[in-house]
């Protein structure tokens, strides 16, 4: 995946990174063959995901947690489709964020940020406030597994 930020916000992105931007999400490629990829992403609570596009279509499926997409609150079992080159963002809500599967018809795609300076100023403050929580967060699936183990032990 290639990542692109407008040159005028790169200093703010760097500053947000210094304060934990990279602690706010975890992304893992589960499957990648020519013409198809599957990614698992855990977006932690309040992570400032910039308005962005990808150069390929993407189908999302929510595995655990909740997110706000526009005015819609989506949760476990919900999904949404974003066509190539359509700008979008979402916000992970709930204490443990959201875990999603991303299905694409390509293993190679871009992430092109469209957010301007004001977004990044707020993102820096969010990163400062959330960094410690993000570093110690437990994913919704891991919490569910712990809960299941506790229930099975009874």
Give the HSE-up count for residue 2: Cα atoms under 13 Å, Cβ half-sphere.
9
Q: What is the pLDDT along the chain (154 residues), one digit of tens a residue?
A: 789 999 999 999 999 999 999 999 999 999 998 889 999 999 999 999 999 999 999 999 999 999 999 999 999 999 999 999 999 999 999 788 999 999 998 888 889 999 998 999 999 999 999 999 999 998 877 777 766 665 566 5
pLDDT for 139 equals: 85
> What does the alpha-carbon distance between residue 109 and residue 7 come to, in Å, rounded to a whole number?
20
What count of residues does the chain have?
154
pLDDT for 94 equals: 77
Give the HSE-up count for residue 127: Cα atoms under 13 Å, Cβ half-sphere.
22
**Residues pairing with 54 in the sheet:** none
Question: Does the predicted model carry a pTM greater than 0.85?
Answer: yes
pLDDT for 140 equals: 79
pLDDT for 35 equals: 87
Asked whether 47 and 19 are in contact (CB, 8 A), the reply is no
């Amino acid at each position: 995946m290639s990542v692109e930020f407008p040159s005028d916000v790169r200093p703010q992105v760097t500053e947000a990174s210094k304060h934990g931007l990279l602690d706010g999400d975890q992304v893992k490629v589960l499957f990648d063959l020519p013409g198809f990829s599957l990614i698992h992403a855990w977006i932690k609570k309040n992570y400032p995901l910039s308005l962005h596009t990808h150069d390929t279509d993407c189908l999302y499926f929510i595995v655990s947690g909740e997110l706000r997409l526009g005015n819609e609150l989506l949760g476990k079992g919900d999904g949404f489709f974003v066509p190539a080159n359509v700008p979008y963002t979402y916000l992970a809500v709930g204490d443990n964020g959201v875990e999603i599967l991303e299905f694409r018809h390509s293993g190679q795609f871009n992430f092109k940020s469209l957010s301007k300076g004001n977004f990044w100023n707020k993102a820096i403050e969010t990163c400062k406030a959330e960094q410690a929580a993000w570093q110690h967060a437990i994913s919704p699936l891991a919490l569910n597994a712990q809960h299941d183990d506790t229930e099975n032990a009874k």
